Structure 1
């Protein structure tokens, strides 16, 4: 217990209260005994002397007096004092009997008087001064009676005086020890009551409903929250709707039956499950305790209605996201095919007319813009569920701006662009695909407010970062003033998605304001990160995979990588395989990067199992696939499972070379990227991808060797 001391006045008051209560109980019992003796005496006197005899009448008077005394003692505030007076009378009567009535039995009376005095009289006194005075007065009365009765002389021997003093001292020391023990007991009781009171206050303050029940499910103690949650329902009426147990076969609905089963187990605590009370969901847990001398269980009821609603919302959002992902995957595949077919026609037919070339470029721009909108919708769902996965790399802002303008100028006719760039090349560390989406959304928002839009894009280098400003005055040709236009822009879903994306990839908000000449500006600040252009840097699309080791030298007997590189494409859709094959075959002629492209020997597999067989077959030929481009979502063994199996084969020594596995999938949420890392994939590119992105992923492997 705590060392905190109880207030002395409170201690004395409690001691007084308990002594008064004990006195009434003791004297009440003693008077009951005397009443019983009086009744027996009345019966004896009536039999021996007759009903109207003096003895019989005296017995009746004594009985009446005892009844009145008992009533007065038990039901009057002065009963305590009257009780002490009664004890003094008994003590004096004992002295009289010892010295004058039955002097031959004086020793017996003295022993009885001392016993009654020590173990009864002093038990009823609450004031220590009164106690010590009582000891002194009692001793004086007994000694005076002995002298007056002639039992002892007025000049007793020294041995008797010494024995008398020793007897008085022993009484005083006994009484002092008794007081200390009594006060310690009272203090312990008060401290225990304080602890219980504080515990009750704490229990009533907690937001959970708490109730203590015994083995028979009877309530011992409960707090206010429990009463509020249960609203008068008996605990026997509560039934579970869901149990926290893997074994649902033995599901028992009734809560009390589950509690009784729990009491008979060797567990100290458990989670019973979820129950519904007045349309509220409650989570119920229990803990075994010892409550006094009996076994008990502390039940805790926690309201989880909001959590259940949130889980339902998340479940519904997950279902919606799953549908969106599936639909987007089905849309992206034919659009990716159309983009690549248009690119093939542009690059392979040098003699096509200028108008036809413009038509092809316009088709490609429209398809890419639609792909960006599809990605916006999927990313918006990722953002709402906090499941957006990002792939950071060094990005040149001017290149992305020019690419966005190239896409949008074929869609928005009669649009004009002014691009102001400083002489220095700007690079930011961000997610390239998401930044492209954001720029397309911001620029297209400004273009969509006029028939003849004019957009000015400015990039400046400042002390706190790189500032991008997209300015337009399209509202002059729109049926709103500048303030209404800004309000309208804020309400558009496309801008909401763009703002969330931009904040995610560069941690700064997109600001919308009106400047001079009624020009509306989109402003975004990129934090400045040091970048050395002289030392070109390439970063993996996702973080390192951890303990997976890539060999830094070729194995003996394996084809020299300086000639050409064996690449395995794994996808269950033939169109995707053909698109990737053509993109890899045409890297040298179609890619705009400055890298020296290698020669690639391309192999294909339409399932994860077929890919494993081909990798083992290459090993038997003492060759190996250096790169595997793996679709993640495939029937049977998916891409993640296939990647795990490839890494296991390398760990067991079944293959001598661990290929560089590139995840190629339309699914790029945070969970998807984490699954890629765990399964041993080395990087991720989104489906569909640009030829430059595919080139970077492939060459990222080459830079490692």
Structure 2
């Protein structure tokens, strides 16, 4: 490790050596000009004087330029030797020319010594020796050679000694000052290198902005985070805006970062301040700021940090909290209708055993039916929420009657409203067509959740659903109650969450499971968000806008893979087919399902229409029965096929059926209809890709099952 003094001496010597090289170049040029001048003017003895001098200069130049002197000591020796040579040259010139030019040549000699020789001498004793030599050859030598030596010579000799002493001290002072400056400069360079290394290695972006719209300092990490270049960076900063609801500072009402920065120039803050979070491309960047003084001028020091991981962690924490709330809420809300189903099912079974009145049993069965539908709505809410989270939610629009949808919601909530004595009212704008183009399942879920929320929070009075045309394609739906109302604090949180673009609700407990998911569904159906108004003790009003007209002619298509809803009556053609089927008494239908309960449900539906059918518990058994019946020339025409079954699932079984037909092992190809609780687009597509010609979701209304079967009989 080289110490600072050695480095300093190397640097000083190298600088003087370069200076000497330039002086030698200049000397060669001057010698050449002098040579020409003497030759033109015809001065005597010019050849004897200049030719040796020029030759020596050329030798010195060759010595300096060709030989690669690396060691500092070698360079110092060359500097001393060359300077002594020049000193002799100047002394010779002083003897050759007039005596009044002697002082000029001595000044030249001193100039070379002070600027070339003395700075390269490190030793005090060597410096004193050089000084004594200079004084001797220029002054003392002449005094000693004079014939008459007087006592007055002692005075200049004393002055010469004083000059040597002062020069020695001056030389020491110059060296010490040079060394101190060198140490200070090296310390600054070291500190600067350390700061630059820290700035380069820093995980955060660093930026210093002055008041004159100038970027005074930045590190490379800042440019990486902003994905920008240093050119035009200030202009780039003027375009940066905070993310929605992510501005932390309250300096200005502006959403632009640059406005807060400019504010701090007028009102400096020495403490650290978080301005907010911006989104640049895919990076969430947090901006922190502090007022500083940079180069004796006010400036703003900014730190930019990538907080993507923190945002993700916050979302995960909020998501986990919401999931926990959903599980608790879903468990509670599912158990409520399930309790009714279990209780009243046992009641009906007991009533049958003791022959209770039929009206009483019908009333209890109606409660069971309503509770089942409530459970189905809750399950659909959870499924829709899962689809929205995963980004696979699809809207299934079709034409349906608005009155019927509202009536179905009221019927589902009728038992609860009757116990409280609540009145249901519906008001529909006459300008709204009888049939609107929407997703009836999701629209019904939204209304049911809003009405259910109103019933829970209303002790007496009424609940009103009103529908009004607002624009050419939009209908406004309002659910208003006369309940207990919502406090302003909770209401403001609900409104804030509803209006945000997030699918994670921070006030899920106040919003409720169904209401929060309903707001997401409104956005998926083309609306903005659910709006809420409330007064404590007066009631609440929830409203939303939804598009109700067909956007294009292809908006409603059978390619949606769903059969029409059961609201339509079975037509005459279908009734005729059912009668013909009854007369044939052939098992044209095969029901395949691994669940005994599902088999009983389909069997019950078919028996109500006196249809004959066969059953199979999995795909393998179904294949065996299809082959067997085809050989007997009484093939199955329709197969109701469950998808998820042991041994062989429905998709694989359907593919095998088509393979049997293509190989000629069966003469007749049955029409396979998928019947599954899987409702995602991928699962439905899988049904059709396997060869199924239709799809029925579980649970499915009985009329839809009959329509699907009769269509292919």
Task: State the TM bucket, normalised to the shorter chain.
Answer: 0.3 to 0.5
Q: Whose relative contact order is higher, 1 or 2, with alpha carbons under 8 Å and at least 6 apart? A: 1
TM-score when normalising by structure 2: 0.45
